[in-house]
Structure 1
Amino acid sequence: MVHELRYEHNEEYTVTDDLDAMLAAIPPRISRPLKEMPDLPDLIEVVMDLGRLPEARFPHREVTLGDNEVTHEDLRYVISRIGSFGDDNRAGIERTLHRISAIRNRKGDVIGITCRVGRAVMGTINIIRDLVETGKSILILGRPGVGKTTMLREVARVLSEDLRKRVIIVDTSNEIAGDGDIPHPAIGRARRMQVPTPSMQHAVMIEAVENHMPEVIIIDEIGTELEAAAARTIAERGVQLIGTAHGNTLENLMMNPTLSDLIGGIQSVTLGDEEAKRRGTQKSILERKAPPTFNILVEIQDRDRVAIHPDVAETVDAILRGYEIKPEVRWRDATGKVHIERGVASYFQERPSRRLENRMDSGIDRKSVPVTTETQNIPRNTKQESEETLPEAQEPIIKPKKVYPFGVSRNKLEQAAIRMGVPIIIVKNLDEAEVVITVDNYYRKAPPAIKDAGTRGKSVYVLRTNSATHIERLLSSLFHIPIPVDPVLSAQYEAEEAAQKILNDEVPAVKLSPQTHSIRRMQHQIAERYNLQSRSSGKEPFRSVTLFKGE
């Protein structure tokens, strides 16, 4: 089934960065040129390495600060104005969220410093607030610097202030609540337990639940087997657990033997002959060992986009059985609305078999293959034509269509169905299908599957190309509904299709349609996700993004 695309309003971000405190800890000769930069609010970090020129790093550029190399005196200047370094070589500035990290030589002397700007960003939780309020344990994944800790900080504030819950933060390296004995106000009423050394994080986690009766415990960077075991102990005591872990996706976590216990653990099981035959699998299979520590998993793809697995146990089981999974995707558009793209219920739809892929490559002389364009007279789906949501009993009912894709991208078909708001069920067997969709170059070869479909009177639709645009046009005709026009989604699809063409070496570069600044920023992020280069060119309102491979 394909669920609706829902829209919700979103608040604006409010950012607190305490940049003055950071600049005061940096030698004046280095901070002076930094203060004059117009994009200073976007500063990510300042890097000072002995014998090299100091650098300031911004989201899309790096700037050298002055013409003089960093000296021991410069490093001592910073060290004297910050807190003490812990065993993990991290320090902070009291009452701020800034993180100062040291690089040492073999003697233990500091020869490099990274001054990373810490920001309290209010509004980041809105995209997952409904999940946080369920009381279920949530695990947040994402690459370094994507905003995991920032989101944890905001979760602590909302749970402790808005929901008035007893929240304890286990704060290793003072990452969440800042340096010093008094926590940063960004965590609201939440209490903070500092960790003397990273190796003691698991012990402080247990201490928190045993001594302070929390309703919620928040942990950053679960990274060891002991910490994973402590997290399970906390969850089993009925405490809501919200934390982050190393890894970008659920699949990364499943392949990590140290942390896989967070999602239930993976074990090898040998089936009997009859059971293996019944399941249609090999005798040796992988299964989940236990209930997951975390009920919900959130993958932060970028600041305005997350993928959500609302039932970790179900998702892990589906992956282990070789089924397709489709997480729920949420993102903010240029207007600040949160779009929720419900995942296609494909947990129990098997991936195409290798035999089918081989059949797709076989060529047969094209003969008379009946092609029909008949469609049922189905009530028009008016849901996508208005942002108003009708009561469930009043919604127009559209009968799902069972679709057998032959040579058509399954992902594109599912995404198009979600965007169109129409129900399709992708089947693996031609006998179950009501509709067969193929592409012109496969149709020309007239393979047996297409021949069989025609002789059985199945409706066969031939796409000119395997593109999202042509798939959407077909679904529009099939369900008698107009193609919805959403400038943000259209721009997203255009960028993703361009990226695919470049990666497939179909074209060296693609210039996208002119867009507004915020949409161009999204397209730059898409290019980065595909490891491509991008640049903007032209004058407003005709400024556009070009995607290309890096040298």
Structure 2
Amino acid sequence: MFIEIAYGKEEYVMTSVLEILPNHITDHIHAVLEDKDFDVQEIRLRVNQPVELNNGRDVRWLPQTNFSQSDATMFLNKISDFSLYRLEEELRHGFITIQGGHRIGISGSVVVENRQVKAIHHISSFNIRIAKAQFGIIHAYTPYLITDTIQNTLIIGPPQSGKTTLLRDIANYCGSSKLQLKTAIVDERSEICASINGVPQHLFAPRIDVLDRCPKAEGMMMFVRSMSPEVVIVDEIGSERDAEAIDEVIHAGVQLVCTVHGKSLEDIRKRPTMKKILQKNIFQRFMILSNQHRAGEVTEILDATGHSLYKSRVNIC
């Protein structure tokens, strides 16, 4: 019952973002939000510069705005609840997750010790990535991905093509009454679930368990050893340790759905680590995404041999 209520609806909540922005900026952003043809994905704030909005393809500047140093100080205080010490660990990773699942990237002067980032001081710019939990995207592709269970699937796409959005929707589908699979999400960078204090900010099906901010390789093995999952969901694979953990997951009889940056199957085959993973013939399906028209646009689905099972009718050239 839980997930059926959510499916078919687009959750696009800007309230928590607008509440922390300076008032002289929110009025101008409201005007852009009224344009339904411009789906804001990022709001970029740079000290002494006008505000930039983008939708993954186009950019809109708000020339009437100027993000001042005092605006930056107040904004940082608001997103940290006036306690930077409380968010020290998040700041070291270069981002803060706020209510609603929105992620705020930061940049400024980096303090490094023993080749590790210890802090970021004198923060001069922010990138607010708008969290948009979309449900039902996967419905059009289930005939290609699902038999009695989800096929081992690798989602391939460039930045801002909707890989994580699609991954989140697949997780919901697997954990809902549609498949009723015990679904485990290893969310290393809090991008899939956008958890705050361990609680996912996105709406999820009842049969989903989450390891937040846990390295992918360790998280996959922790789930296999202790939570008896039927499907494991991870974002952005590519390291040697990921390859070893993936091998263990598959040999434990657990299905796997994950993403990787790339433009095509041929593109990722050129990378040494991905080449090793692909040579094991783990994946039964490859979903190719594009950011040419909209986030989450699937242009092609391939089987294990690279044969095309589905091709979008939209001309992406």
* TM-score interval (norm. to shorter): 0.7 to 0.9
**Gapped runs of 5+ residues in structure 2?**
1-6, 81-86, 112-119
- What is residue 205 of structure 1 aligned with on the other side? 220
Indicate conservation of the 8 Å contact 2:232/2:254, yes or no. Answer: yes
Indicate conservation of the 8 Å contact 1:97/1:179, yes or no. Answer: yes
Indicate conservation of the 8 Å contact 1:168/1:218, yes or no. Answer: yes
- What is residue 114 of structure 2 aligned with on the other side? none
Q: Equivalents in 1 of 2:195, 2:73: separation in Å?
A: 19
- What is residue 124 of structure 2 aligned with on the other side? 111
Q: Equivalents in 1 of 2:56, 2:187: separation in Å?
A: 27
- What is residue 116 of structure 2 aligned with on the other side? none
- What is residue 223 of structure 1 aligned with on the other side? 238
Say yes or no: does 1:90 pair with 2:95. yes
For residues 447-471 of structure 1, what are the alpha-carbon distances to aligned partners after superposition, in whole Å with 9 as ceiling and x for unaligned? Answer: xxxxxxxxxxxxxxxxxxxxxxxxx
- What is residue 298 of structure 1 aligned with on the other side? 287
Indicate conservation of the 8 Å contact 2:216/2:234, yes or no. Answer: no
Say yes or no: does 1:186 pair with 2:203. yes
Change (3 A) 1:164 1:13: closer
- SS of structure 1 residue aligned to 2:266: helix
Kindly report which structure 2 residues correspond to 1:22-421, keeping only aligned pairs within 5 A, or say none: 22-37=17-32, 38-39=34-35, 42-58=39-55, 61-65=58-62, 67-82=64-79, 84=87, 85=90, 87-94=92-99, 96-107=100-111, 108-109=120-121, 110-134=123-147, 135=149, 136-161=151-176, 162-180=178-196, 181-189=198-206, 190-196=208-214, 200-264=215-279, 291-302=280-291, 303-311=296-304, 314-315=305-306, 326-331=307-312
For residues 169-190 of structure 1, what are the alpha-carbon distances to aligned partners after superposition, in whole Å with 9 as ceiling and x for unaligned? Answer: 1012211112312213532121
Q: CA RMSD in A?
A: 2.3
Superposed displacement of residue 240, structure 1: 0.6
Q: Equivalents in 2 of 1:227, 1:87: separation in Å?
A: 23
- SS of structure 2 residue aligned to 1:31: helix
- The letter for the 1-side match of 2:285 is I
Superposed displacement of residue 157, structure 1: 1.0
Q: Which moved more, 1:23-32 or 1:66-75?
A: 66-75
- The letter for the 1-side match of 2:258 is G
Query: What's the TM-score, normalizing by structure 1?
Result: 0.48
- SS of structure 2 residue aligned to 1:53: strand
Q: Equivalents in 2 of 1:330, 1:191: separation in Å?
A: 33
Aligned residues: 283
Superposed displacement of residue 77, structure 1: 2.9
- SS of structure 2 residue aligned to 1:39: coil
Change (3 A) 1:227 1:76: farther
Indicate conservation of the 8 Å contact 1:153/1:186, yes or no. Answer: no
Q: Equivalents in 1 of 2:68, 2:219: separation in Å?
A: 39
- The letter for the 2-side match of 1:47 is R
Q: Equivalents in 2 of 1:150, 1:244: separation in Å?
A: 11
Change (3 A) 1:104 1:255: same
Q: Equivalents in 2 of 1:301, 1:36: separation in Å?
A: 28
Between the aligned residues of both structures, percent identity stands at 22
Which structure is higher in RCO with an 8 Å CA cutoff and minimum separation 6? 2
Q: Equivalents in 2 of 1:209, 1:217: separation in Å?
A: 9
Structure 2 residue corresponding to 1:17, chosen from 12, 15, 19: 12
Change (3 A) 1:195 1:14: same
Q: Equivalents in 1 of 2:285, 2:311: separation in Å?
A: 14
- SS of structure 1 residue aligned to 2:253: coil
**Gapped runs of 5+ residues in structure 1?**
1-11, 265-290, 316-325, 332-488, 490-521, 531-551
Superposed displacement of residue 86, structure 1: 5.0
